[in-house]
Amino acid sequence: MSYFTEEHNQFRQSLRDFLNKEVVPFVDEWEEVGNPPREIWKKFGDMAYFGLRFPEKYGGLNLDFFYDVILLEELAKINSGGTSAAIGAHTYLSLAHLNNEGSEEQKQKYLVPGIAGEKFGCLAITEPFGGSDVASMRTTAVRDGNDWIINGSKTFITNGVLSDYLIIAAKTEPELKQAGISMFVIDRDTAGLSATKLNKLGWCASDTAELAFDEMRVPADALLGEENQDTINKAE
């Protein structure tokens, strides 16, 4: 039994042709440089590869799950885990959270250009002292009038240096452990944010960062979804 229709197969061949032309010849260069060039994001966006499953009103194609399967399968064949990680982190982490939890304003500001390849993002959860154990998360967000003050750090964040925006998990009610986690979406140039690129043994074509938040003040509308709604594992 095959889950793939003729339309799926045609899409696979078109995607394969695109990757063989626009990506495969350059992966060694990108591995050396440490990231794909910004123009490749726009090329992916022009082909709608970032919007396969997202609503048409935001520039997506609203296609079925198996188109994503094909995209991931073909990315696995380009001989650059770093490039695949960079593309995947944007598509299946940052864009997924924006689509699922974002307000209409947030979707217009980040999701629409994200699908178009005009902006790309990252998801910042993992921390130096707790890894991906969200119950041990130390990054906090404290309400101060109409703003939030975020302090803490993240590490091993794919696209963490060069992305245009960041989706950050922080504890807003620390005593609730993982139940007290909220998500925020912020711009790269937010004051109090710093990023340090990490050197790696492999996957060098994806920029991987350690992030620090020092009294980082963000507006109330940076909250992604509802306060204390642990949506980390719900971006599906």
Judge whether 93 lies within some domain: yes
Name the domain count of the chain: 2
H/E element, 210: strand 208-219
Quick one: pLDDT at residue 232? 59
* Sign of torsion over alpha carbons 140, 98, 118, 154: positive
Judge whether 1 lies within some domain: no
Instruction: Say whether both 131 and 94 belong to one domain.
Output: no
In whole angstroms, give the CA distance from residue 127 to residue 135. Answer: 11
Give the number of other CB atoms < 10 A from CB of residue 218. 23
Residue 208: helix, strand or coil by DSSP?
strand
Instruction: Say whether both 133 and 207 belong to one domain.
Output: yes
Instruction: Say whether both 53 and 138 belong to one domain.
Output: no
Contacts of 88 (CB under 8 A, 6+ apart): 72, 75
Judge whether 128 lies within some domain: yes
Full domain range(s) for residue 168: 121-234
One pLDDT digit (tens) per residue for the chain, 236 residues:
678 999 999 999 999 999 999 999 999 999 999 999 999 999 999 999 999 999 999 999 999 999 999 999 999 999 999 999 999 999 999 999 999 999 999 999 999 999 999 999 999 999 998 777 787 899 999 999 999 999 999 999 999 999 999 999 999 987 776 778 999 999 999 999 999 999 988 888 999 999 999 999 999 999 999 887 765 555 44
The domain spanning residue 30 has which CATH number? 1.10.540.10
Judge whether 72 lies within some domain: yes
In whole angstroms, give the CA distance from residue 137 to residue 125. Answer: 8
Quick one: pLDDT at residue 1? 64
- Report the DSSP pairing between strands 121-124 and 165-171: parallel
